[in-house]
């Protein structure tokens, strides 16, 4: 086993800043995306956050997807999901819902609020070519199902995948079928706290949504997503306190063709998805 001195600390390699956008029925969001493979197997991260109902109350009426997985995670408020497969469920603060769209799914997500309004995230994960036309599935996960790793003032909540502290303690989130061997966790650091993780996944990303996070001596501010260099050791700290998401996975290294809610490997496959949606066979 390597000693700490022999290990490679992961450093900030690239920064992306969330941009204001809107989707669905006029829902205001902050969006980060890279459909060129730069954050493979991930594609996009949307942050929905407002205490003004007009910013989000229209929600996301029925719309299609093919070729991806989506993971929605709620900090405040909630979302109600319905799809053509007959799934209907509501998630609240701390809960998540995962959708494997495969060949095709038509779904809606409508917002609910609490005293702090709505604050949620939706992550898109790319499916490998072999799974693009697989059967669609759906699952929701309650906050009580998510294990938590705690060290002093550091807390890591595992939505999916395997996470291990450098001291050896490990947790695994309930979502075990994330594309690209994906892993997703909610990081909370109190002021002055730090956390060191074993982190060998080829793709490792951190998104900050509150406060500031320090990674290998560099500061990441709210609204920033960073891609980290190769290595096996991740050192996180915060002077003021922070919250963020950690994303880990293995890239597919496949061509990406994207149009709206569809992500395939070729332009021809995108055109087929559009035809299938128009003629009602997208989900057949």
Beta bridge partners of 154: 151, 189
**Residue 74 vs residues 145, 233, 238: alpha-carbon distances, Å:** 14, 28, 23
HSE-CB at 28 with a 13 A cutoff on CA atoms is: 9
Q: How would DSSP label each residue in 54-84? A: GGTTT-EEEEEEBSEEEEEEEEESEEEEEET
Q: Name the pLDDT band for 57 (thresholds 50, 70, 90).
A: low
Task: Return the H-helix or E-strand segment holding 108.
Answer: strand 105-112
Q: What distance, in Å, lies between the first and last C-alpha atoms of the chain?
A: 50
Handedness of CA 225, 34, 97, 50 (dihedral sign): positive
Distance between CA atoms of 148 and 171, rounded to whole angstroms? 7
Lowest mean pLDDT among 95-99, 106-110, 147-151, 252-256: 106-110
Indicate if the pLDDT at residue 1 is higher than 60: no
Q: Are 52 and 68 in contact (CB under 8 A)?
A: no
Question: In the chain, what are the helix, strand and coil shares in percent, each to the nearest 5?
Answer: 10, 55, 35
Average pLDDT over residues 193-210: 98
Write down the pLDDT at residue 2: 47
Indicate if the pLDDT at residue 82 is higher than 70: yes
Q: What is the pTM for the complete model shown?
A: 0.94
Domain 10-272: CATH class, spelled out: mainly beta
Indicate if the pLDDT at residue 5 is higher than 60: no
Please state the domain extents for the chain: 10-272
3-state secondary structure of 87: coil
Q: Which residue has the higher pLDDT, 100 or 57?
A: 100
Distance between CA atoms of 172 and 146, rounded to whole angstroms? 8
Spatial neighbors of 224 by CB under 8 A, at least 6 apart, are 15, 16, 17, 18, 207, 208
Beta bridge partners of 232: none
Token digits for 92? Answer: 């609240």
Write the pLDDT tens digit of every residue in 143-187. Answer: 999 999 999 999 999 999 999 999 999 999 999 999 999 999 999
């Amino acid at each position: 086993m390597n000693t700490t001195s022999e290990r490679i600390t992961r450093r900030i390699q690239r920064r992306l800043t969330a941009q204001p956008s809107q989707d669905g029925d006029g829902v205001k969001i902050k969006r980060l995306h890279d459909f060129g493979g730069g954050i493979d197997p991930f594609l996009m991260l949307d942050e929905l956050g407002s205490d003004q109902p007009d910013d989000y109350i229209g929600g996301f009426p029925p719309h299609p997807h093919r070729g991806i997985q989506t993971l929605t995670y709620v900090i405040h408020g909630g979302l109600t999901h319905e799809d053509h497969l007959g799934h209907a469920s509501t998630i609240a603060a701390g809960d998540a819902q995962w959708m494997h769209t495969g060949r095709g799914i038509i779904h809606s997500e409508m917002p609910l609020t609490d005293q702090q309004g709505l604050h949620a995230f939706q992550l898109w994960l790319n499916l490998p070519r072999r799974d693009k036309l697989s059967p669609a599935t759906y699952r929701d996960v309650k906050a009580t199902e998510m294990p938590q790793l705690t060290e002093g003032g550091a807390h890591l909540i595992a939505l999916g995948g395997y996470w291990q502290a450098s001291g050896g303690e490990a947790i695994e989130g309930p979502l075990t079928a994330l594309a690209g061997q994906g892993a997703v966790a909610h990081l909370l650091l109190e002021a002055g706290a730090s956390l060191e993780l074993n982190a060998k996944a080829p793709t490792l990303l951190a998104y900050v949504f509150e406060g500031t996070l320090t990674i290998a001596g560099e500061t990441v501010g709210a609204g920033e997503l960073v891609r980290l260099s190769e290595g096996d050791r991740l050192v996180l700290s915060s002077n003021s306190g922070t919250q963020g998401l950690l994303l880990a996975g293995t890239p597919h290294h496949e061509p990406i063709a994207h149009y709206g809610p569809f992500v395939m490997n070729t332009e021809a496959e995108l055109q087929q998805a559009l035809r299938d949606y128009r003629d009602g066979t997208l989900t057949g």
